[in-house]
């Protein structure tokens, strides 16, 4: 398989933001119950930029550097094995070069600090990201104003930002398209909100689009993902 | 034979200047191995380091010797020296293999420093249970609570204090033991008289609170204790058993405190070593089965089983080489014959001794789990001994990473020349990653190893221990060459004019291989190359590997195959086919798109967060790929992969960049292709040198 095919099967390609916000500075949110694979999906989103030779900053709150690195290595390995990717070694090197992981422990994370780090990175010519994924951000303890500031940051730096959030058990039975807690109060700040769900007796994971829409209309508001590679699966009913 | 459950093999690890020497000194004093306390710190309080070295020198090898033995409350404690430099992975690995448990010493003022972080990481990797001792509680600014918090945050340990200090700084009077709920004072000139009293009223409240916290944390490890706590009747034994259980499982780190210098708390630490750290049978040790691709095999720890012992340290003594060994199973007996797994040689156990601080005791046998020293055994450190050849196990991996950096050294005079060769002989035995050879072209002695610092230390040791002054050349990175595609060759070597002729023709191909350095494949059918000359071709190819055509670096990752050829009834010879193979290799090499590979180091730089930007910039400038950063409070660790050739002199740069507040460690990670521009530079330089 070629690199191009990988890019086309990336779920982020199939997600369009609501309203006419620029793709390059949108804010996205991935929600799921604990253990569904939020981090993996964020990594897959980051992969999209990485495979397009764009640079990515991965912010991880509460997880160690080594662990975060492993997410990428494992997912890449799964993908390259599942898709029999050509020139995997070369692509992996390029990914490494374009990726930068910043980890914080819970107590030392703040928006101001993150912004300072980002400016450092750009100033020192280490990396100029076009995408940032934030994993482990605690929505329950965050004020709306912090997210508003993040939005400003996204616009200012021309950066798309994706967050992950844990929602409580029992969410799978919800049929409305409302953004569930703890993000119900800030849903309007995001251009795209998706919910990752597992469906009984199905080989695929469901990616329900709560906000924004799918690029290809036939999919409706639901995308099917491969649980191992987190790429779009078309064969799954 | 001794009861194995009454043996403790422990290491003491500490950041520089947190009081390791003083503490060891006190331990030896209280265990009555030495009879007077000598101060490390002089009266003026300066030059502590110098003093400690003088002290060590005066006493010979006691304090820093590889293993010191002492008795405490009917238990035998072997204290094993842990290397200070974490960069030397093999040495660290070996020391950690031998330990069953460790005491982590921290300064109550300095807290968790970078060295502690690295050592702690290594210990976690090798699953070494540890207890922490917060030393120097008498110093101004002492704050054990802060250190405990750092233990939790920075080292990720479940640190639980089992003592609280009575007073801090100059007012420190003693300690309160939260397990037994007693106040403990250390009387007498040397603090050797322990006085137990009731807890003074002003500490009662704090004690109750801290004890409750401690019980909460500890009862996680014992249901029995949990019930007893709920009923309000926990006993000392229960608490201690639970602490031990948690510690052995590496899920709890009991924290003790005191001040070794002022003779407070050391005896309690020794008690804790016995109560909470594992004996040899409590830990699982693994041997590698060499017959089955180094599969892990658990050692039995039973003294009656076949012997398995590891030589972990060599020392030059008055009576020849002294080899420190640890037995993992079986018994080492005087007069037995043992086999060195690496060399396959048999040896006879002559003298077997137990090392004390200032003398040694002759013993007849050593059971499983013990640490003893052997005389007159020729081996290198890291070698495994077994009782017979039917048992092909090794305690350490046989795979030794290839050196990545080399230096030329030249002795300043004749005397230094002699000493230098003695020193080199010893170092290569001690450390498998340290190699030395004489360059046939320049006739210089070259030493090579795993990093700049690694070699620096050996040069320094040569000066100090062997009085061999040498001048050191500029460090050279061990580049490699490899090919990226398959290429064919068909080469005829012919010299048939005058004298005895030479003739040989070989054809075949070379191609890259993923793993391994070199492979030779013989695909000759029909005898176009006579059988006897096929090894000659192999030899010829191998000769080419030493010096690649690009920059004269070692060539790796090549498969050479021959599938056709021709010979001459009279003129073909071994040398003719070697030359033909060499010619063929050269022909194909140029077509196989050769490239240069360089060693890449994994670098971890840590310093205050405000310097994060500039540290990253500096790594970036050095062609580094920054993997990421980790931010904890005001401290940041930056991880990057940087080519070794760019790391020379980095420590100076880093220091000036960060006002001396940042440090870094690095270890070899992998080989990677050098960028084009750099490759061109290297090739141009190699060609210039040729001329």
Model confidence pLDDT, tens digit, residues B94-104: 777 788 888 88
pLDDT at B46 exceeding the cut of 60: no
For residues B322 and A86, give the distance between their C-alpha atoms in angstroms, rounded to a whole number.
55
Q: Locate the chain A residue with the closest alpha carbon to B604.
A: A65
pLDDT at B392 exceeding the cut of 70: yes
Angle between helix A65-82 and helix A38-51 axes, rounded to 10 deg: 70
Q: How far is A43 from chain B (nearest CA, A)?
A: 15
pLDDT category, B583, cuts 50, 70, 90?
Answer: very high
The answer to whether B633 contacts A69, with C-beta atoms less than 8 Å apart, is: no
Q: Of B8-12, B409-413, B462-466, B615-619, give the lowest mean pLDDT range.
A: B462-466
In the β-sheet with B558-566, what is the strand arrangement from edge to edge? B487-495, B502-512, B558-566, B518-522
Q: Of A163-177, B48-62, B74-88, give the lowest mean pLDDT range.
A: B48-62
The answer to whether A124 contacts B633, with C-beta atoms less than 8 Å apart, is: no
Cβ neighbours of B603 in A, within 8 Å: none
Is A160 touching B (CB cutoff 8 A)? no
Nearest to B449 by CA among B90, B108, B191, B204: B90
Q: How far is A180 from chain B (nearest CA, A)?
A: 31
Nearest to B122 by CA among B78, B81, B89, B73: B89
Q: How far is A124 from chain B (nearest CA, A)?
A: 5
pLDDT category, B34, cuts 50, 70, 90?
Answer: low
Q: How far is A104 from chain B (nearest CA, A)?
A: 5
In terms of pLDDT, which residue wins out, B513 or B660?
B513
The answer to whether B632 contacts A105, with C-beta atoms less than 8 Å apart, is: yes
Is A127 touching B (CB cutoff 8 A)? yes
Q: How far is A51 from chain B (nearest CA, A)?
A: 17
Which among B620, B627, B629 has CB closest to A69? B627
Q: Are B380 and B273 in contact (CB under 8 A)?
A: no
Residue B488 has what pLDDT?
92
Q: State the average pLDDT for chain B.
A: 80
Q: Which tens digit of pLDDT belongs to each residue from A106-140?
A: 777 888 888 888 888 888 888 888 899 999 888 88
pLDDT at B432 exceeding the cut of 70: yes
Q: Which tens digit of pLDDT belongs to each residue from B302-323?
A: 777 788 888 887 776 666 778 8
For residues B433 and B548, give the distance between their C-alpha atoms in angstroms, rounded to a whole number.
23
Is residue A130 in a domain? yes
Is A97 touching B (CB cutoff 8 A)? yes
* Residue A80 three-state SS: helix
Handedness of CA B401, B404, B405, B410 (dihedral sign): positive
Q: Which residues contact B235 (CB under 8 A, 6 or more apart)?
A: B228
Residue A217 has what pLDDT?
52
The answer to whether A65 contacts B627, with C-beta atoms less than 8 Å apart, is: yes
Do the interacting molecules here have an ipTM over 0.85? Answer: no
pLDDT category, A56, cuts 50, 70, 90?
Answer: very high
The answer to whether A108 contacts B626, with C-beta atoms less than 8 Å apart, is: no
Tally of domains within chain A: 1
pLDDT category, B509, cuts 50, 70, 90?
Answer: very high
Quote the radius of gyration of chain A (alpha carbons, Å). Answer: 17
Element (H, E) at A101: strand A99-104
Residue B45 has what pLDDT?
40
**End-to-end Cα separation, chain A, in angstroms:** 24
Which among B617, B631, B633 has CB closest to A126? B617
CA dihedral B165, B166, B168, B169 (to 10 degrees): -110
Q: Of A28-37, B6-15, B124-133, B157-166, give the lowest mean pLDDT range.
A: B6-15
User: Residue B50 — φ and ψ, nearest 5°?
Assistant: -60, -45
In terms of pLDDT, which residue wins out, B439 or B557?
B557
For residues B421 and B445, give the distance between their C-alpha atoms in angstroms, rounded to a whole number.
10
Is residue A114 in a domain? yes
DSSP string, B339-375: EETTT--EEE---EEEE-SS-EEE-SEE-TT-EEEEE
pLDDT at B59 exceeding the cut of 60: no
**Residue B512's CB: how many other CB atoms inside 10 A?**
17
Is residue A66 in a domain? yes
pLDDT at B65 exceeding the cut of 60: no
Residue B49 has what pLDDT?
36
Cβ neighbours of B633 in A, within 8 Å: 105, 107-108
Residue B18 has what pLDDT?
65
Is residue A234 in a domain? no
Residues in a beta bridge with A55:
A129
pLDDT at B623 exceeding the cut of 80: yes
User: A92 is in which domain, residue-wise?
Assistant: 3-225
Q: Which of A89, A102, A134 to mutate to test the interface with B (most CBs of B within 10 A)?
A: A102
Which among B626, B631, B637 has CB closest to A126? B626
Residues of chain A with pLDDT > 70: what percent?
A: 87
pLDDT category, B663, cuts 50, 70, 90?
Answer: confident
The answer to whether B639 contacts A65, with C-beta atoms less than 8 Å apart, is: yes
In terms of pLDDT, which residue wins out, B154 or B269?
B269
Is B542 touching A (CB cutoff 8 A)? no
User: Residue B452 — φ and ψ, nearest 5°?
Assistant: -60, -50
Q: How far is A143 from chain B (nearest CA, A)?
A: 22
Distances (CA, A) of B248 to B101, B102, B220, B278, B557: 9, 11, 14, 6, 44
What's the rounded mean pLDDT across residues B16-44?
A: 66
pLDDT category, B584, cuts 50, 70, 90?
Answer: very high
Q: Which tens digit of pLDDT belongs to each residue from B168-213?
A: 787 888 888 888 888 888 887 777 788 888 888 888 888 888 888 8
The answer to whether B631 contacts A103, with C-beta atoms less than 8 Å apart, is: yes
Is B143 touching A (CB cutoff 8 A)? no
Q: Which tens digit of pLDDT belongs to each residue from A61-106?
A: 888 888 888 888 888 888 888 878 777 778 888 888 889 899 887 7
The answer to whether B616 contacts A101, with C-beta atoms less than 8 Å apart, is: no
Task: Please classify residue B196 by burial: count the beta carbons closer than 10 Å to its beta carbon, then call 0-12 exposed, 13-18 middle and 19+ buried.
Answer: exposed
Cite the beta strand spans of B552-624 per DSSP E. Answer: 554-555, 558-566, 594-608
pLDDT at B53 exceeding the cut of 50: no
Is B614 touching A (CB cutoff 8 A)? yes
pLDDT category, B86, cuts 50, 70, 90?
Answer: very low
The answer to whether A96 contacts B153, with C-beta atoms less than 8 Å apart, is: no
Is A88 touching B (CB cutoff 8 A)? no
pLDDT at B533 exceeding the cut of 70: yes
Q: Which tens digit of pLDDT belongs to each residue from B335-361?
A: 888 888 877 788 888 888 887 655 677
**Residue B330's CB: how many other CB atoms inside 10 A?**
26
pLDDT category, B43, cuts 50, 70, 90?
Answer: very low
Q: Which of B627, B632, B675 to mutate to test the interface with A (most CBs of A within 10 A)?
A: B627
Q: Which of A62, A103, A118, A122 to mutate to test the interface with B (most CBs of B within 10 A)?
A: A103
Is residue A28 in a domain? yes
Cβ neighbours of A64 in B, within 8 Å: 630
Cβ neighbours of B639 in A, within 8 Å: 65
Strands B360-362 and B352-355: antiparallel
Cβ neighbours of B629 in A, within 8 Å: 65, 100-103, 117
What's the rounded mean pLDDT across residues B652-679?
A: 82
Q: Could you say which residues from 323 to 362 on chain B have a Cβ atom under 8 Å away from some Cβ of chain A?
A: none
Cβ neighbours of B614 in A, within 8 Å: 124
pLDDT at B62 exceeding the cut of 60: no
pLDDT at B574 exceeding the cut of 70: yes
What's the rounded mean pLDDT across residues B294-298?
A: 74
Residue B442 has what pLDDT?
74
Q: Could you say which residues from 40 to 59 on chain A have a Cβ atom under 8 Å away from some Cβ of chain B?
A: 58
The answer to whether B631 contacts A104, with C-beta atoms less than 8 Å apart, is: yes
Residue A155 has what pLDDT?
87
The answer to whether A127 contacts B626, with C-beta atoms less than 8 Å apart, is: yes
Which among A96, A103, A113 has CB closest to B630? A103
pLDDT at A203 exceeding the cut of 80: no
Task: Please classify residue B105 by burial: count the beta carbons closer than 10 Å to its beta carbon, then call 0-12 exposed, 13-18 middle and 19+ buried.
Answer: buried
What's the rounded mean pLDDT across residues A141-170?
A: 85
**Domain annotation for chain B: domains and CATH numbers:** 4-282 (3.40.50.300), 286-394 (2.40.30.10), 405-477 (3.30.70.870), 481-592 (3.30.230.10), 598-687 (3.30.70.240)
The answer to whether A103 contacts B626, with C-beta atoms less than 8 Å apart, is: no
Which among B616, B633, B641 has CB closest to A120? B616
Is residue A22 in a domain? yes
pLDDT at A173 exceeding the cut of 80: no
Is B631 touching A (CB cutoff 8 A)? yes
Is residue A233 in a domain? no
Q: Could you give the residue ranges of the DSSP H alpha helices within B434-565?
A: 452-466, 534-546
Is B54 touching A (CB cutoff 8 A)? no
What's the rounded mean pLDDT across residues A206-223?
A: 71
The answer to whether B631 contacts A124, with C-beta atoms less than 8 Å apart, is: no
Cβ neighbours of A117 in B, within 8 Å: 612, 629, 631
Is residue A219 in a domain? yes
The answer to whether A105 contacts B631, with C-beta atoms less than 8 Å apart, is: yes
Residue B403 has what pLDDT?
76
For residues B160 and B210, give the distance between their C-alpha atoms in angstroms, rounded to a whole number.
10
What's the rounded mean pLDDT across residues B268-274?
A: 88
Q: Are B241 and B179 in contact (CB under 8 A)?
A: no
For residues A206 and B213, give the distance between their C-alpha atoms in angstroms, rounded to a whole number.
45
CATH of the domain at A205: 3.40.50.300
Is A101 touching B (CB cutoff 8 A)? yes
For residues B491 and B583, give the distance between their C-alpha atoms in angstroms, rounded to a whole number.
6
């Amino acid at each position: 398989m070629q690199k191009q095919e990988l890019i086309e099967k990336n779920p982020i390609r199939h997600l369009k933001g609501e309203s006419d916000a620029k793709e390059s500075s949108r804010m996205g949110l991935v929600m799921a119950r604990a253990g569904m694979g939020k981090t993996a999906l964020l990594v897959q989103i980051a992969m999209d930029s990485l495979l397009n030779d764009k640079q990515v900053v991965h912010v991880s709150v509460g997880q160690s550097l080594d662990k975060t690195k492993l997410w990428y290595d494992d997912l890449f390995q799964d993908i390259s094995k599942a898709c029999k990717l050509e020139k995997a070694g070369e692509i992996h090197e390029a990914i490494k070069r374009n990726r930068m992981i910043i980890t914080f422990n819970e107590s030392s994370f703040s928006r101001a600090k993150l912004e300072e780090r980002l400016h450092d990175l750009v100033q020192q010519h280490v990396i100029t990201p076009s995408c940032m994924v934030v994993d482990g951000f605690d929505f329950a303890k965050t004020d709306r104003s912090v997210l508003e500031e993040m939005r400003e940051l996204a616009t200012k730096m021309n950066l798309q930002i994706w967050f992950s959030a844990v929602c409580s058990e029992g969410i799978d039975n919800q049929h409305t398209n409302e953004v569930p807690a703890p993000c119900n109060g800030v849903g309007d700040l995001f251009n795209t909100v998706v919910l990752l769900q597992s469906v009984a007796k199905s080989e695929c994971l469901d990616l329900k689009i709560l906000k924004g829409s799918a690029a290809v209309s036939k999919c409706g508001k639901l995308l099917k993902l491969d649980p191992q590679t987190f790429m779009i699966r078309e064969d799954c009913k | 034979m001794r009861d194995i459950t009454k043996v403790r093999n422990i290491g003491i690890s500490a950041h520089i200047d947190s009081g390791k020497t003083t503490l060891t000194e006190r331990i030896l004093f209280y265990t009555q191995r030495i009879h007077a306390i000598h101060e490390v710190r002089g009266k003026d309080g300066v030059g502590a380091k110098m003093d400690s070295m003088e002290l060590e020198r005066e006493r010979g090898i006691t304090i820093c010797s590889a293993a010191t033995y002492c008795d405490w409350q009917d238990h035998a404690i072997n204290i094993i020296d842990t290397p200070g430099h974490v960069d030397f992975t093999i040495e660290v690995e070996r020391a950690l293999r031998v330990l069953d448990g460790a005491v982590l010493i921290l300064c109550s003022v300095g807290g968790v420093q970078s060295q502690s972080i690295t050592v702690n990481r290594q210990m976690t990797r090798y699953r070494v249970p540890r207890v922490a001792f917060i030393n120097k509680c008498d110093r101004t600014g002492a704050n054990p609570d802060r250190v405990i918090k750092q233990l939790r945050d920075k080292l990720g340990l479940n640190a639980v204090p089992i003592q609280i200090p009575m007073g801090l700084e100059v007012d420190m009077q003693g300690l309160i033991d939260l397990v037994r709920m007693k106040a403990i004072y250390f009387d007498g000139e040397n603090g050797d008289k322990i006085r137990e009293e009731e807890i003074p009223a002003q500490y009662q409240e704090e004690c109750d609170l801290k004890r409750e916290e401690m019980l909460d944390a500890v009862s996680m490890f014992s249901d029995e204790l949990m019930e007893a706590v709920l009923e309000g009747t926990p006993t000392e034994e229960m608490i201690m058993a639970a602490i031990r259980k948690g510690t052995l499982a590496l899920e709890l780190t009991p924290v003790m405190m005191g001040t070794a210098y002022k003779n407070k708390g050391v005896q309690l630490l020794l008690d804790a070593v016995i109560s909470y750290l594992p004996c040899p049978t409590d830990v699982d040790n693994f041997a590698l089965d060499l017959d089955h691709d180094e599969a892990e095999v658990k050692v039995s720890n039973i003294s009656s089983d076949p012997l398995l012992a590891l030589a972990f340290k060599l020392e030059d003594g008055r009576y020849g080489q002294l080899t420190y060994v640890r037995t993992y199973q079986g018994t080492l007996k005087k007069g037995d014959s043992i086999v060195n797994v690496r060399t396959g040689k048999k040896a006879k156990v002559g003298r077997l001794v137990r090392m004390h601080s200032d003398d040694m005791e002759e013993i007849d046998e050593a059971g499983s789990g013990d640490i003893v020293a052997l005389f007159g055994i020729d081996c290198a450190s890291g070698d495994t001994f077994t009782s017979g050849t039917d048992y092909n196990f090794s305690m350490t991996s046989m795979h030794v990473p290839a050196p990545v950096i080399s230096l030329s050294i030249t002795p300043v005079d004749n005397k230094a020349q002699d000493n230098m060769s003695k020193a080199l002989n010893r170092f290569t035995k001690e450390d498998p990653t340290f190699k030395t050879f004489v360059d046939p072209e320049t006739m210089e002695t070259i030493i090579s190893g795993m990093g700049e610092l690694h070699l620096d230390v050996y040069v320094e040791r040569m000066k100090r221990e062997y009085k061999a002054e040498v001048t050191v050349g500029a460090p050279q990175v061990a580049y490699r060459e490899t090919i990226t595609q398959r290429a064919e060759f068909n080469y005829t070597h012919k010299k048939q004019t005058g004298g005895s002729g030479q003739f040989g023709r070989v054809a075949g191909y070379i191609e890259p291989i993923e793993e391994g350095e070199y492979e030779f494949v013989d695909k000759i059918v029909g005898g176009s190359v006579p059988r006897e000359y096929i090894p000659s071709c192999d030899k010829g190819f191998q000769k080419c590997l030493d010096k690649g055509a690009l920059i004269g670096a070692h060539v790796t990752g090549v498969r050479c195959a021959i599938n056709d050829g021709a010979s001459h009834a009279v003129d073909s010879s071994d040398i003719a086919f070697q030359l033909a193979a060499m010619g063929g290799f050269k022909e194909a090499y140029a077509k196989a798109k050769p490239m240069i590979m360089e060693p890449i180091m994994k670098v971890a730089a840590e310093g205050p967060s405000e310097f994060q930007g500039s540290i990253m910039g500096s790594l970036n400038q050095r062609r580094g790929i920054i993997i990421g950063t980790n931010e904890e409070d005001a401290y940041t660790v930056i991880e990057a992969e940087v080519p070794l050739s760019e790391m020379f002199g980095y420590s100076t740069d880093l220091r000036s960049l960060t006002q001396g507040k940042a440090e870094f460690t690095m270890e070899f990670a992998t080989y990677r292709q050098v960028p084009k521009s750099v490759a061109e530079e290297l090739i141009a330089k190699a060609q210039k040198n040729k001329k």
